[in-house]
Amino acid sequence: MAIKLIGYIKIRNRDQKRALMTKVRWHSIVWICVGSGLASFISGCGGTKPATTDAVNPHIVARFAGQQLTVSEFEDRYARSVGGRDAAMKDSLADYEDFLTRYVDFRLKVTEAKANGLDRDPALMAEIEEYKKQLSGPYLVDQEIVDDLVREVYQRQQEEISASHILVRVEGEGTPDDTLAAYQRIKTLRDSVAAGASFADIAARNSDDPSAVRNSGHLGVFTGGRMIKAFEDRAYNTPVDSMSEIFRTRFGYHVLQVHSRGDRSPDIRAAHILIRATEDDTVEALAKVSEIMAKLDEGVEFADLAFDYSDDQGSAPQGGELGFFGRGRMVAPFEEAAYSLEKVGDVSAPVRSRFGYHLIKLLEVGELPAFEEAYDDVKAQVQRLPRFQEAHGALTLRLKGELNPKIDTTALANLTSGFSPDSTLFALALEQWTDEQKSTVLATMGGHEFTLEDFLEFGNSRRESAPSSFDFAETVATLDRMLTERAIEVAASKLEETDPDFRDLMNEYRDGIVLFRIMEDSVWNRANTDTVGLMKMYEANAESYRFPARKRVISFYSSSDSTLKEIAARWNPNDTTNWAGLVGEEGFRVDTTFVSDSTSSIYDAALSLEPGETSAPTQYRRGFMLFALDGIEAPRRKTFKEARADIVTAYQSRLEETWLARLRTKYDVDLYPENLRFAFRRSDYGIMSTGG
C-alpha cells in the first residue's frame, strides 16, 4: 500500500485539510506507512511489543500513559488516514497492526511533549491562536456557503446545455415605466414565438444582446458556472425543445429556448496553427495554409510548423499547444472542429473563425474528474462568481443578526460632543486620543467588545466608507458597517465551542505543533549538531555510502531551438566557446547534472547518449532543452560531506528509536493486536465497539 498521512481530521472539504496539512507537513506531525517494507517520514516508529495479558477486553486495542484506545477509536483514526471506512475495510489485518503501532508511537510523542509543558509554551500558544484566526473564517464560509455552491456547480457541470435567448435590456434597476415597457416588449416577442415565429429570427432582429445579430441568440454549449446564476437556474429547469417563462436578471428580461441537454463532453487538449486573415487577404492566407498542409503530408512535425508559421504568438513557442479546454471556452467554429476530431493525432481541415484560419491537432482526450478531484478547481471558479459574493453578503447579515449587535450611542456622543461639523473622527491620529478614550467600548456583538481604537482603525483603513466630515448619524452608520464586516470573524471565533469538526481540527494542529517542537529538541537538532556521532556513523558504514556510475550531463535550455541546434552542431566537450557567450542572456541556461538511472523526467533523454554525443532539442515548458554527455563518472565512495544528508537521516532514525524505546517503558505501553480482528468487521463477530 502507499504511504498515507494521518490527518486524524473529520472535515468536509479539501481546503481545510490543505490548510492544516501545509502547516502539519512543515511541523512534521507524522507520516504513517501502511504495509511492510516502507520507511516512515519520521523513521523508527516500530518496535512496541504486544501485551501477553491472558484476559483482555475485546473492545481495547492499546493501553498507554493511563489511556486506552478502543476498537471504535482505532476505526475512526484509521478510516481518516485512508480516505473513509469503505477503503479501510479493504485493508488487511497486517495493515491495521502496522498502523496501531505507529499511531501509539505518535500519541507517546505528543504525551511526552505535553508532559514537558510544550502545550503551554507562550510562543506556541500564540502561533496556534494566530493559525486559528487564519483558518476559522474561511472554514466557516466553506461550511455555510462554498461547499453547497461547489456541489451544485459540479453537478450541473456533468451536463451540457445548448440554448438560445432573447434579451430586452433594462439599465440598472430601471424606472417603473422603463421596467414595464421592457416587460411588455419581451412578452410580445415571446408571444410571437409561441404563435409559431422562429425564435432565431426574433432574436436576430429584436434581442438587445449585441451578439444576436451574428448568432441569432444562440449561446452555444455551456455547463454550470458559465452563466449568471439566475440564467443558469432557468436553463437547467427548462425542458428540452421548450421555451422558458420570462425572467429577470441584472441585465434585463430574458426568454430562453433549450435545444439540447446531455452528458458533458470531456475536456480535450489540442494544438493549433493560426494564419490570420481578413476579407482582403483570404486568398493569400489560404495559400499559406495549403503550404503548411503539404509539409504535414511530407511528415514535418505539427509542433515545428506551429513554431515557424503560427500567428498565435501565445501558443506558437509551445508548438501551438493550447492546453486542456472544454465546451464553451473557444469560439464556436474552432470548438466544433476540435470536438469533431475522432482520434488523438488527427488534424482538422482548415477552419475559419473571426481570427483567421486554423489547423487543429487533437493531442489528448481527458476524463471527467470525480467530485473530490474537481473540488479545488470548481471552488476557485465558484469564488469568482457573483453568486458567491451574494451568498457571502447574505451570510454576513444573517450572522450579524444572530450575534445581537448593540451600538452605544451615548458613549459615542460623549466622545464626540465637542466636534464641529467640518471635522472628521478618522482624521485624528490614534495618539491624539488618551488611552482611556481609546479603550471606550462603542459596540458589542456576540460577546465581543469594540472600542474607539477598533473603530478608528476601521475608519482609517476604509476612508472611502468613512464620513469625510463629522455627522453623528453617518458615524453611527459607519460603526454599523464595521460590525457587519466583523460578523464572520466574531462567529468564527466561537467555532471551537460550536463545531466538533473544527474542534478536532484545532486539536490535531496543537498536537502537530508540540510534536514538531519535541522532535526538534529530541531528534532533529541533536542529529544535526552531533558532528562526532555523525562521523562515527560514517566511519562505521563508509562503504554503504557510494555513488554508482553516473553520466555527467550538460543541459542547455533556450527559448529558441535554433540556438540549441547550433550548439549541437559544433559541440565539443573541451571547447565552450560556442555557447559560453550566451550564459547570462535571457532565456538561456546551462547546468551540469549527474544521472545514473531513469528519473521519469526529461533528463531520461540523456541516458542513451555516449560520451561526446548530444540529444536533439526537446520541447520543455516555454522553450527547449538540449543534453550533451560530457563523460561518465566511475563508481566511488561518497565523502563525509557528500554523504552527510544520508548520515543525518540514519542518525535521526537511531536517536528516535532509542527515544521511543524509553517512552514505551515510561508510559507502560501494551498493545492488543489480536483485537484488531474486530475492526471494521464487528457485525461478523457479533460484538459492538462501545468506546470503553
What angle do the packed helices 371-382 and 14-27 form, to 10 degrees? 100
**Confidence label for 51 from pLDDT (cuts 50, 70 and 90):** low
Rounded distance between C-alpha atoms, residue 395 and residue 412, angstroms: 28
**Contact at 8 Å (CB) between 150 and 378?**
yes
Query: What pLDDT, on a 0 to 100 scale, did the predictor assign at position 48?
Result: 54
Mean pLDDT value of segment 615-626: 86
Query: Which percentage of the chain shows pLDDT scores above 70?
Result: 89
> For residues 133 and 506, is the Cβ–Cβ distance under 8 A?
no
pLDDT computed for residue 620 by the predictor: 85
Matching residue, cell 465497539: 689
CB 194 within 8 A of CB 230: no
pLDDT recorded at residue 585: 76
pLDDT at 375 over 70: yes
Closest among 97, 87, 33, 109 to 61, alpha carbons compared: 97
Q: What is the pLDDT of residue 20?
A: 41
Using the predicted structure, report yes or no on whether residue 3 has a pLDDT greater than 50: no
Integer Cα distance of 432 and 459 in angstroms? 15
Q: Which residue is it, cell 502507499?
A: 2
The predicted-structure confidence for 575-598, as pLDDT tens digits, reads as follows 777 677 777 677 888 999 999 999
- pLDDT recorded at residue 418: 79
pLDDT tens for each residue of 145-157? 999 999 999 999 9
**Could you tell me if 95 and 35 are in contact, meaning their C-beta atoms sit under 8 angstroms apart?**
yes
C-alpha to C-alpha distances, 462 to 24, 485, 517, nearest whole angstrom: 35, 11, 40
Phi, psi for residue 413 in degrees, rounded to 5: -65, -40
CB 675 within 8 A of CB 669: no
Backbone φ and ψ of 609, nearest 5°:
-80, 150
Q: What is the pTM of this model?
A: 0.70
Task: Give the DSSP per-residue string, 405-454.
Answer: -EE-HHHHHHHTTT--TT--GGGS-GGGS-HHHHT-EEEEETTEEEEHHH
| Neighbouring C-beta atoms of residue 615, cutoff 10 Å | 21
Tell me the one-letter amino acid at 325: F
Mean pLDDT over residues 652-671, rounded? 95
Burial 90-104 (b: 16+ CB within 10 A, else e): ebeeebbbbbbbbbb
Higher pLDDT, 470 or 394: 394
Q: Mean pLDDT throughout 633-661?
A: 95
> What's residue 49's pLDDT?
54
Per the rule left: phi > 0, alpha: psi between -120 and 50, beta: everything else, 600 is left
Give pLDDT tens digits for 408-448.
999 999 998 878 777 788 777 667 888 999 999 999 999 99
What is the predicted pLDDT for the residue at 265? 87
Q: Are 334 and 358 in contact (CB under 8 A)?
A: yes
Which residues have a Cβ under 8 Å from the Cβ of 165 and sit 6 or more positions away?
203, 207, 209, 217, 219, 231, 254, 255, 256, 257
In angstroms, the CA 21 to CA 24 distance is 5
Summary mean pLDDT of the chain = 86
Instruction: Quick: pLDDT tens for 147-194.
Output: 999 999 999 999 999 999 999 999 776 677 778 999 999 999 999 999
CA separation for the pair 602, 621 (Å, rounded):
11
- Tell me what pLDDT residue 500 has: 92
The answer for residues whose C-beta is within 8 angstroms of residue 263's C-beta and 6 or more apart is: 158, 159, 160
Q: Say which DSSP state 18 is in.
A: H
- Dihedral (Cα; 393, 397, 399, 405), 10-degree rounding: 140
**What is the rounded average pLDDT of the residues 91-107?**
95
494 has a pLDDT exceeding 50: yes
Contact (CB, 8 A) for 551 and 594? yes
Q: What confidence score (pLDDT) does residue 566 get? A: 86
Which helix (H) or strand (E) element contains residue 166? strand 159-169
Q: How far is Cα 384 from Cα 472, in angstroms, rounded to an integer?
A: 37
pLDDT band at 304 (very low <50, low <70, confident <90, very high): very high
Residue 50 pLDDT greater than 70, yes or no: no
